Structure 1
């Protein structure tokens, strides 16, 4: 690449990626923090646990983690849910890992497959896929994947490393956790509605757009307005305004405290935005430097599905790099030149890239160490639980995506 083009390439990659993502990511972080600080996330978890009862406690943890995982980023959801899981395991005298595996599975699946999480949101922008379609198909893939990697995998893990299910864990590093009396928290219905509002808005707009295409309805102002409201940026902004009211103003929380929550959340994602921007710059260098074109040339006459290729490249990069988001972004740089030669559904390629970027989390991934330390596991036990869990999510995700590709 000529020297004069290098800086321009980096700026294009950085700007192109963050330009698409910064608004959605920033608004999503604020909304999640408001739900957490008002006690909405705790209300969702505790209500579902009560409703499901002691016998179905694992399914309660899965449902709560899935709903909370849609609204909160992976690390935030983990830090918020782990103390609740520890408290329930003490109360019911069950292993923390028995509840921890389903919780981690649900959080990881939402992180890898569903916008507004950084991975799927960024890749959708890079591939030019409709974000609402990614969300809709992501849900179809996510639900069976969570069931497989959560409650069902726990049975296998118990046989593989029975000793790990006797560990007591250690969450001292999380510091003092804000705990609420249940009556101080928002109502269950309003908490779930606020957490899922962006998903509801984007899904309605996507479903109506798909119906319009299928039925051949002419475009009009009403449909244009629905598309505007269902656009990821607009949906997140509306959801944040609703959260400011439901989790703040309606609860008589001073607006100063509400704004404090928003400010803190943005401070916490600064480094993540820089990492994603760096990933975007790297992706652009791969494209402009000709590496993407070279990979496209390599696979020109292959009969392999672009969905499988995207998954495979993301999986190799994830094992090498550690970060799921950076692996996904780098994959975009290598896969984009391939997409010009095919008519594959772009939303499914986004999901396949997300699935590949989750595989085999090991020692070069922060999530591996977080899981190991919180649950007090040895290296061998972490590989047999966390690494295997992430691999099941990745492979099962790919299988369900390929099945879905037969119908869409």
Structure 2
């Protein structure tokens, strides 16, 4: 009975989002109430469960995601992303231009959300394509592969952060494992796959400005890179210090505090406000306006993440989690593979990688608890599954098609196939790593 209720909720969620075009946040609320009633939860416990699910999820995430959005916005507005991209292009030259685009996407993809990174870096893709007379899709796919992998695999991006909280994973291990898997995944789905696209003719009708900021007004390269990667550096140094001196020492406790994800993001914003803002000639009020715009852009993402936490809490408080785990165990599939499959199916149905990953997490979490699957690798497995085969129900499919001037068939053979390579290669990397770290 529980599995039927679960399937009914998932199907209704898909219909509400894709057919009825209901807002995703509202859809999750409707499905959460529906699940609670169908699972027989007492009416007086439903609202407290909703509050707990929303509060527990957002309480651990809102600071990191909000400040991460601010940093990404400032990296773009200040010209830091443009500086990194132009420097990589000049350093690698035409022969290795796809590797330059790949590395650029990797660096700026850590602080930038995918959509922000795409629209920020697309002028660079146009610039390189025009300069070397290369197809836009050949130049652009390596960069988009990097941005996509960062979006699906690595904190502080919303989906990996939310999955890390839901699975009670270690943020440092998730990041380290994520980088280990991300590098070969990006190489395969980026520069290597792009070789098959070199002769794909494109005909973009979009007129794209090449440079928004004059070169002499851009921040320095090292300033741009260090400011963009500062949260990662702070958390990494903190983790290393704790391992060297011990968590119970005074230095260890200070390092743990300074390296906490929330504190690291606050430190980064404080420093970047000066290095990428005030130092570049921006008034403090202008920087604050940039941050306000960033919060507006990420507000709906936060609500969606919070509502996914509600659904998970209802499964837990109603007791359905144990029954779901027992049923999933009967499928005789490794939990990491099952998590990937569930996320991939939801991605195909829903289009949104974030929604697919968070919904899959609520389903697979009970099984992970019972089987003792590695929570850090489960974050990456579900994240990889959530990127599977972007197609016509994903806005990124259409954006890529229009900007690169592709036909429908060409978009499937480039963008959709690249996303599939990212997803499958990511799963293979997770399974290989699982044999090593356990």
Kept in 2, the 8 Å contact 1:136–1:203? The answer is no
Identify the residue that residue 44 of structure 1 maps to in structure 2: 84
1:75-90 aligned at under 5 Å gives the runs 75-90=115-130
Aligned position for 1:356? 385
Number of aligned positions between the proteins: 397
C-alpha offsets along residues 94-135 of structure 1, whole Å, 9 cap, x if unaligned?
110111111110000000111000011000011111111111
**Partner of residue 18, structure 2:** none
Deviation of residue 74 (structure 1)? 0.4
Q: 8 Å contact 1:287–1:334 — kept in the other structure? A: no
CA distance in 2 between partners of 1:119 and 1:399 (Å): 20
Q: Distance in 2 between matches of 1:188 and 1:301?
A: 54
Deviation at 1:241, TM superposition (A): 0.9
User: Could you tell me which residue of structure 2 aligns to residue 7 of structure 1?
Assistant: 47
Is the 1:194–1:246 Cα contact (8 Å) retained in structure 2?
yes
Answer yes or no: is the 8 Å Cα contact 1:105–1:389 preserved in 2. yes
The CA deviation at 1:304 is 3.0
Which residue of structure 2 lines up, in the alignment, with residue 166 of structure 1? 201
Instruction: Please give the alpha-carbon distance, in whole angstroms, between the structure 2 residues aligned to 1:178 and 1:255.
Output: 24
> How far does residue 279 in structure 1 lie from its aligned partner after superposition?
2.3
Structure 2 unmatched runs, 5+: 1-40
Find out whether 1:191 has 2:231 as its counterpart: no
Shift of 1:396: 0.2
Q: 1:323 aligns with which of 352, 355, 361?
A: 352
SS at match of 2:329: coil
Partner of 2:180: 140
Summarize the Cα distance change of 1:211–1:185 in structure 2 as closer, same or farther, 3 Å threshold: same
SS in 2 for 1:401: helix
Contact 1:167 1:377 in 2 (8 A): yes
Distance, in Å, in 2 between the alignment partners of 1:71 and 1:170 is 30
- What displacement does 1:205 show? 2.7
Corresponding residue number in structure 2 for 1:23? 63
Q: Please, what TM-score do these two structures have when normalized by structure 1?
A: 0.92
Q: SS in structure 1 opposite 2:389?
A: coil
Q: CA deviation at 1:290?
A: 4.7
Structure 1 vs Structure 2 CA RMSD:
1.9
Within 1, Cα distance between the matches of 2:372 and 2:313? Answer: 23
Distance 1:177 1:132 in 2: 37
For structure 1, list consecutive stretches of 5 or more residues without a partner in the other structure: none
CA distance in structure 1 between the partners assigned to 2:243 and 2:204 by the alignment: 47
- Tell me how far apart the structure 2 counterparts of residues 154 and 56 of structure 1 sit (CA, whole Å): 12
Deviation at 1:316, TM superposition (A): 1.6
Cα–Cα, structure 1 residues 283 and 373, in superposed 2: closer, same or farther, change >3 Å? Answer: farther
Whole-Å separation in 1 of the counterparts to 2:137 and 2:419: 15
In structure 2, the partner of 1:248 is 277
Q: Which residue of 1 is the match for residue 151 of structure 2?
A: 111
**Secondary structure of the structure 1 residue equivalent to 2:436:** coil
How much has 1:286 moved relative to structure 2?
Answer: 3.6
- Matched with 1:265 is 294
State the alpha-carbon separation in 2 of the partners of residues 12 and 177 from structure 1: 48
TM-superposed deviation, 1:171? 3.9
Secondary structure of the corresponding residue to residue 311 of structure 1 = helix
- Whole-Å Cα distance in 2 between the matches of residues 209 and 349 of structure 1? 25
